[in-house]
Amino acid sequence: MIITLNNIKPSYMSESEVSGSDVYLKKNINLESGKNYLFKANSGSGKSSILNFIYQSNENFEGSIQYKNIRYKNKIDIRKNFISYVFQDFKLFGNLSVWDNIKIKNNLTVHKTDKEINDLLNKIGLSEKKDSLVNKLSIGQRQRTAIVRSLCQPFKFLLLDEPFSNLDEDNITIITKILNNELENKAAGLIVTTLNNKYLFSYNKIFKL
C-alpha cells in the first residue's frame, strides 16, 4: 500500500503558516507500507490534522490523498482493513470496561483471539484492569488500552498520535517491542507524530510539519 499526499494543506491554515513544512503544499509525498515515518511538529502546526486527513476523519483540507495498491470501496473500508489509528484523545468509551472497549472492535474484525488479547493485556500490565471501567483508569492506562485496541484489526498502516505521552520508560519499551512485532508480521507501515525529540522507532523518513 502507498499513501500519496499531493499539495495538501489544512483549509484553516494559510500558505505562510505551512511554508516551512516538508509535507504541506508538497507534491507526491509517498508513504509506503513496511516503512516507518515520523511527523515532527510544534503544537498547532497541523500535527494531529495530518493523521486525521490520512484516516479521512477530517476532510477539511486542500489537495488530494490517494491510496494505491489496494482495493477498497469507501473510507469505512479503508479504516476497517488498511489503516488503524491511536488517537491522541484515545476515543474510548468511558462507561465500558477495558475488555469491552477492545472487544467492540475485535468483534467487528474477528482479528485476534481472546487469548491473544489477554496476552497483550498481560504484557502491558493491564490484565488486572481488564474488567475496570475506562473512566476509572489513569491516562496512561487508557493510552495502553487504546494501543491494544488498535492492534485488533488488519492494517497496512498504523497511525500513532503522540502515542507515549503519558507512559513511563518501562511501558514505552514494552509497547515499542509489541508494535514493532505487529508491524513486521503485517509488513505494515508506521506513521508517528510527536512534539519532542524522542525517536522511539527506527524511521525511514522524518518530516517536519
Q: What is the pLDDT along the chain (209 residues), one digit of tens a residue?
A: 999 999 999 999 999 999 999 999 999 999 999 999 999 987 666 689 999 999 999 999 999 999 999 999 999 999 999 999 999 999 999 999 999 999 999 999 999 999 999 999 999 999 999 999 999 999 999 999 999 999 999 999 999 998 888 889 899 999 999 999 999 999 999 999 987 666 678 999 999 98
206: phi then psi, degrees, rounded to nearest 5: -115, 125
Q: What's residue 44's pLDDT?
A: 65
What pTM does this model have?
0.94
Specify the pLDDT at position 204. Answer: 96
The 3-state secondary structure of 53-65, one letter per residue: HHHCCCCCEEEEE
pLDDT of 128 reads 97
Q: 119-135 burial string, b = 16+ CB within 10 Å, else e?
A: ebbeebebeebbeeebe
